[in-house]
């Protein structure tokens, strides 16, 4: 299923800011909807409500795991400015359980301009065909990786048998069948690679996200994205995962950070 279908939202007639959506099968890790996918669905509802096409900074708090099925998104406009609209949203499942609380600012990124200063490089990845797919792997193959195309750097892909020792996850990302990628697809890309800390020498099975903030800097040029995620601080039961996403023209298109829990044991 295409990303734009999987994240489609429908306004509820007669309401102010109430939207329906369906969390689709397959956009999940072991049955739980992927976090980036959840944010993309909420962001679609917010974009439509405020009438601005691009989130420029969006923060989501994860309150409960999401399963496939219907959800509602209640969006509220906080401020309609000249340049930005600021809005909140809450996503609730059919049982009335809130999954997500979101806060974001929306704009039209094609109108952005200013001086440029970039003090970093895209990750040095081997060609796509020399990187590793996560489909049909014996050791780690969540259903999500049938919906999106991810190719991991070979140094980072063997975490299940031989962690690299560096808390890092690098790889290529695109939507299948050359589906165009907008800034909502970029939000998805900021949470689509396996957790960085799977490559660290730590006794971790999963790292539930508390909060993710993504900054979207530009709409990506067509083609594969290059993604790099790093963790520098595992302390006090928490870790951060810092992400950079670059497009095929070497433009930084997204920067993200999430705070995740380190389950003990």
- Here's the x/- map for a copy of itself, 133-172, by CB under 8 A: it reads as ----------------------------------x-----
- Count of residues of this chain found to bind a copy of itself when the rule CB under 8 A is applied: 55
Cβ contact 30:89 at 8 Å = no
User: Could you tell me how many residues make up the chain?
Assistant: 265
* Contact present, 98 and 64 (Cβ < 8 Å): yes
Question: Shortest distance, CB of residue 180 to a copy of itself, whole angstroms?
Answer: 19
Among 1, 63, 65, 155, binds a copy of itself (CB under 8 A): 63
Stretch that binds a copy of itself, among 135-143, 146-154, 187-195, 197-205 (CB under 8 A): 197-205
Region near a copy of itself per CB under 8 A, out of 29-37, 103-111, 132-140, 186-194: 103-111
3-state SS, one letter per residue, for 34-78: CHHHHHHHHHHHHHHHHCCCEEEEEEEEECCCCCCEEEEEEEEEE
Give the residue, chosen from 78, 94, 135, 221, that forms a contact with a copy of itself under the rule CB under 8 A: 78
Please provide residue 135's backbone torsions phi and psi, each rounded to the nearest 5 degrees.
-85, 135
Binding mask 222-261 for a copy of itself (x = CB under 8 A): ---------xxxxxxxxxx----------xx--x-x-x--
* C-beta closer to a copy of itself: residue 102 or 134: 102
DSSP tag of 159: T
The HSE-up count of residue 197 (CA atoms within 13 Å, CB side) is 24
Q: Does 202 engage in binding with a copy of itself (CB under 8 A)?
A: yes
Nearest CB to a copy of itself, comparing residues 48 and 98: 98
- Residue 59 interacting with a copy of itself (CB under 8 A): yes
Cβ-count burial 186-219 (b if 16+ within 10 Å, e if not) = bbbbbbbbbbbbbbbeeebeebebeebbbbbbbb
Q: Which of 56, 131, 144, 186 is the binder for a copy of itself (CB under 8 A)? A: 56
User: Beta partners for 215?
Assistant: 57, 255
| In the complex, minimum distance from the CB of residue 78 to a copy of itself, in angstroms, rounded to a whole number | 5
CB atoms within 10 A of CB 78: 13
Our CB check for a copy of itself shows the closer of 7 and 183 to be 183
Check residue 77 for interaction with a copy of itself (CB under 8 A). Answer: no
Give the up-direction half-sphere exposure of residue 228: CA atoms within 13 A in the CB hemisphere.
13
**Placement of tokens 């980072």 in the chain:** 156
Distance CA 214, CA 259 (A): 12
- Which residue of 109, 125, 189, 193 would you call a contact of a copy of itself, by CB under 8 A? 109
Residues engaged in binding a copy of itself (CB under 8 A): 56-57, 59, 61, 63, 78-79, 81, 84, 86, 88, 90, 98, 101, 103, 105, 109, 112-120, 167, 197, 200, 202-204, 210-211, 213, 215, 217-218, 231-240, 251-252, 255, 257, 259, 262, 264
């Amino acid at each position: 299923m295409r990303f734009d279908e999987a994240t489609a939202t429908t306004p509820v007639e007669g309401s102010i800011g109430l939207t329906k959506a369906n969390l689709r099968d397959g956009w999940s890790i072991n049955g739980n909807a992927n976090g980036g996918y959840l944010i993309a669905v909420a962001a679609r509802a917010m974009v439509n409500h405020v009438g601005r096409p691009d989130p420029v900074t969006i923060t989501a708090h994860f309150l409960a795991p999401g399963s496939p099925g219907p959800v509602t998104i209640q969006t509220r406009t906080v401020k309609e400015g000249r340049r930005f609209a600021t809005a909140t949203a809450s996503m609730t499942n059919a049982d009335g359980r809130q999954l997500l609380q979101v806060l974001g600012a929306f704009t039209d990124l094609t109108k952005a301009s200013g001086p440029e200063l970039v003090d970093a490089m895209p990750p040095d990845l081997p060609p796509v065909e020399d990187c590793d797919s996560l489909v049909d792997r014996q050791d780690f193959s969540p259903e999500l990786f049938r919906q999106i195309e991810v190719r991991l750097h070979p140094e980072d892909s063997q975490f299940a048998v031989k962690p690299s020792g560096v808390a890092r996850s690098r790889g290529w990302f695109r939507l299948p069948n050359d589906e165009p990628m907008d800034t909502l697809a970029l939000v998805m890309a900021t949470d689509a690679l396996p957790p960085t800390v799977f490559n660290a020498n730590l006794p971790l099975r999963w790292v539930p996200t508390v909060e993710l903030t993504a900054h979207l800097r530009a709409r990506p040029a067509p083609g594969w994205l290059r993604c790099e995620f790093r963790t520098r601080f595992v302390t006090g039961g928490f870790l951060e995962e810092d992400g950079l996403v670059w497009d095929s023209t070497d433009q930084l298109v997204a920067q993200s950070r999430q705070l995740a829990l380190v389950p003990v044991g």
